[in-house]
């Protein structure tokens, strides 16, 4: 019954539409293997959305399991413990493995999403943690101040 509120978007959205989608959402689910999701993580944090993601390339640098979301172990079949990962995620072999699917990952994703759907207090607690993480680590002002310090140090 969870699928009644799930939408799969296949086309690129305009930024104004993305903002509205974030505002209407409670959770961001990132079940992918590529390491190209950093902006989505930051956007989710800005809007206070806990993230459920596969624990792959760089995810654990943003998603603190149990605090700002949940991390799910990737498939044992996916070749992610190789030097060419994550650039191999578009290789025919990698795509073939991912398309075959992994029941355990789907079950783990459902379990973690269900916790957030059913436990509003936890979802709200994680939402606050996400917004704090954004404000304290990733906001524009934080980045500008860090960059300013780097330049000041370099000029001395």
Lowest-pLDDT range, 8-17, 42-51, 121-130?
A: 8-17
76-109 pLDDT, tens digit each: 877 777 777 777 777 787 778 877 778 888 899 9
Count the Cβ atoms, other than its own, within 10 Å of residue 16. Answer: 8
Is residue 86 within 8 Å of residue 33, measured between CB atoms? yes
pLDDT recorded at residue 113: 93
17-32 pLDDT, tens digit each: 888 889 999 999 988 8
Q: What is the pTM of this model?
A: 0.80
Q: Which two tokens stand for residue 105?
A: 């990952």
Q: Which two tokens stand for residue 125?
A: 């607690």
Is residue 104 within 8 Å of residue 44, measured between CB atoms? no
Strand order in the sheet with 69-72: 28-30, 51-54, 69-72
């Amino acid at each position: 019954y969870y699928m009644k509120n799930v939408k799969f978007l296949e086309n690129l959205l305009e930024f104004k539409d993305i903002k509205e989608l974030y505002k209407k959402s409670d959770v961001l689910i990132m079940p992918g293997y590529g390491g190209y999701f950093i902006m989505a993580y930051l956007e989710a944090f800005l809007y206070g959305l806990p993230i459920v993601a596969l624990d792959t390339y760089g995810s654990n640098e943003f998603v603190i399991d149990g605090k700002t979301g949940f991390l799910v172990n990737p498939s044992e079949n996916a070749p992610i413990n190789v030097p060419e990962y994550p650039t191999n995620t578009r290789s025919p072999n990698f795509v073939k493995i991912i398309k075959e699917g992994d029941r355990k990952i789907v079950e783990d994703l459902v379990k973690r999403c269900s916790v957030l759907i059913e436990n509003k207090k936890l979802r709200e607690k994680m939402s606050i943690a996400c917004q704090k993480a954004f404000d304290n680590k990733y906001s524009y002002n934080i980045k500008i101040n860090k960059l300013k310090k780097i330049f000041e140090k370099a000029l001395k």
